[in-house]
């Protein structure tokens, strides 16, 4: 990556971070989890061109797009922005778009399907996807994080064929969102530990808390590194396996990090009023979307078994 590109990315991330810090606050998250679409925030995102990152002519790369998705995870942005970006990369378009898993004549698990002008249905092990314009919503639902996950009709959809595995690309959005969410959970843990006083001192001074945060920091660092590996493999024939390793690793980090940081927060972190749960519930739900750890571990393990024991190391010892 050249320095000019790094600069562009930093500009995008800085201006987006400012918007999210100013607008993606607790009341907005609460309202979104009650089903109220944050149209104002969407408008800001679209006005800044963040819904077109990575598309031809945008002057930005797929890497910029995934870095932005990670930032959305950091701020728990309650919009189908990762979905819109991915759909735009498959079939250029405007407005809100989303995707879900094709199941017979419906598409399930569609983020904000009720708001989407376009929905893409995709399936495991297929490069073909179904694009549906203004689909009929069959059923509204929510994830455990209160994020809308709707079922829409696949009727009238057009089939297009992609070059990179769509299921793995869908998983990659969750990897990046988790990497961002994990960072915020760590930050909240550090902040709370520094502020909460018990026995006359900040609880961050207790060794048990320090060790817990050290474990969390190590998991978050590993998760972020694993996320980059999958993004870096986008144009590689190892893409699916790198996503597999990444989603498996990041998913494992989620369980550990959410558990430890809730423990550090005491009862306060168990309240609705505290914002920790907006992030912990999201990372919990994202690890199960688009293949949980077991699914991806098995896919990767199957591949290694076929390569054979003595090819395991050459498979692992990549250049990047």
Partner 1 sequence: MLQFDRVNLDAQTEKLRAEVRAFLADNKAHLTQPNSDFVTGHDPAFSQKLGERGWIGMTWPKEYGGGERSFFERYVVTEEILAAGAPVSAHWIADRQSGPLLLRYGTHAQRQTYLPQIAGGQAFFSIGMSEPDTGSDLASVRTTAIREGDAYRVNGTKIWTTDAHRNHFIICLVRTEAAAENRHAGLSQIIIDLKNDGAQIRPIANMAGGEDFNEVVFEDVVIPADRVVGEPGNGWEQVTSELAYERSGPERFLSSFRVFVELIRACGDDPAPHQAAAIGRIAAHIMTMRRMSISVAGMLEQDKDVGVEAALVKELGNNFEKVLPEIARLAAPERGAVQAFRKTFEETLLLSPSFTLRGGTREILRGVIARGLGLR
Binding residue (CB under 8 A) for partner 1 from 221, 255, 275, 288: 221
218 binds partner 1 (CB under 8 A): yes
SS (H, E, C) the chain: CCHHHHHHHHHHHHHHHHHHHHHCCHHHHHHHHCCCCCHHHHHHHHHCCHHHCCCCCCCCCHHHHHHHHHHHHHCCCCCCHHHHHHHHHHCCCCCCEEEEEEECCEEEEEECHHHCCEEEEECCCCCEEEEEECCCEEECCECCCCCEEEEEECCCCEEEECCCCHHHHHHHHHHHHHHHHHHHHHHHHHHHHHHCEECCEEHHHCHHHHHHHHHHHHHHHHHHHHHHHHHHCCCCCCHHHHHHHHHHHHHHHHHHHHHHHHHHHHHHHHCCCCCHHHHHHHHHHHHHCCCCHHHHHHHHHHHHHHHCHHHHHHHHCCCC
Binding residue (CB under 8 A) for partner 1 from 249, 277, 282, 287: 249
CB of 137 to partner 1, least distance (A): 35
CB nearer to partner 1: pick between 197 and 305? 305
CB of 22 to partner 1, least distance (A): 23
Binding residue (CB under 8 A) for partner 1 from 102, 226, 254, 283: 226
CB of 227 to partner 1, least distance (A): 10
CB of 89 to partner 1, least distance (A): 22
CB nearer to partner 1: pick between 148 and 291? 291
CB of 196 to partner 1, least distance (A): 13
Binding residue (CB under 8 A) for partner 1 from 116, 145, 248, 261: 248
304 binds partner 1 (CB under 8 A): yes
CB nearer to partner 1: pick between 33 and 242? 242
192 binds partner 1 (CB under 8 A): no
151 binds partner 1 (CB under 8 A): no
10 Å Cβ neighbour count for 176? 28
CB of 117 to partner 1, least distance (A): 36
Interface residue list for partner 1 (CB under 8 A): 190, 193-194, 204-205, 207, 209-211, 213-215, 217-218, 221-222, 224-226, 228-229, 232, 244-246, 248-249, 252, 293-294, 296-302, 304-306, 308-310, 312-313, 315-320
């Amino acid at each position: 990556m050249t320095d000019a590109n790094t600069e562009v990315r930093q500009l995008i991330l800085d201006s987006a971070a400012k918007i999210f810090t100013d607008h993606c606050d607790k009341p907005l998250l609460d309202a979104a989890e009650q089903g109220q679409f944050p149209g104002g925030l969407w408008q800001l995102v679209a006005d800044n061109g963040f819904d077109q990152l990575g598309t031809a002519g945008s002057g930005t790369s797929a890497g910029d797009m995934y870095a932005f998705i990670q930032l959305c995870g950091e701020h728990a942005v309650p919009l189908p922005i990762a979905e819109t970006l991915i759909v735009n990369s498959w079939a250029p378009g405007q407005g809100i778009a989303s995707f879900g898993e094709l199941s017979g004549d419906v598409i399930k698990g569609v983020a904000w399907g009720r708001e989407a002008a376009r929905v893409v249905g995709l399936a495991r092990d297929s490069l073909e996807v179904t694009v549906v314009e203004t689909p009929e919503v069959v059923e509204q639902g929510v994830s455990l994080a209160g994020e809308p996950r709707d079922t829409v009709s696949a009727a009238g959809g057009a089939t297009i064929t992609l070059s990179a595995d769509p299921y793995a690309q869908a998983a990659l959005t969750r990897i990046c969102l988790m990497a961002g969410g994990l960072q915020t959970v760590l930050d909240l843990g550090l902040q709370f530990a520094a502020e909460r006083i018990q026995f006359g001192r900040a609880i961050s001074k207790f060794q048990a808390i320090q060790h817990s945060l050290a474990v969390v920091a190590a998991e978050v660092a590993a998760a972020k590194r694993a996320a980059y590996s999958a993004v870096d493999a986008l144009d590689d024939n190892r893409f699916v396996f790198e996503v597999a390793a990444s989603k498996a690793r990041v998913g494992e980090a989620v369980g550990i990090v959410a558990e430890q940081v809730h423990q550090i927060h005491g009862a306060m972190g168990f309240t609705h009023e505290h914002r920790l749960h907006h992030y912990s519930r999201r990372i919990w739900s994202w690890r199960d979307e688009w293949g949980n750890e077991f699914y991806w571990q098995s896919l990767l393990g199957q591949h290694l078994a076929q390569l054979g024991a003595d090819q395991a190391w050459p498979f692992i010892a990549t250049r990047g």
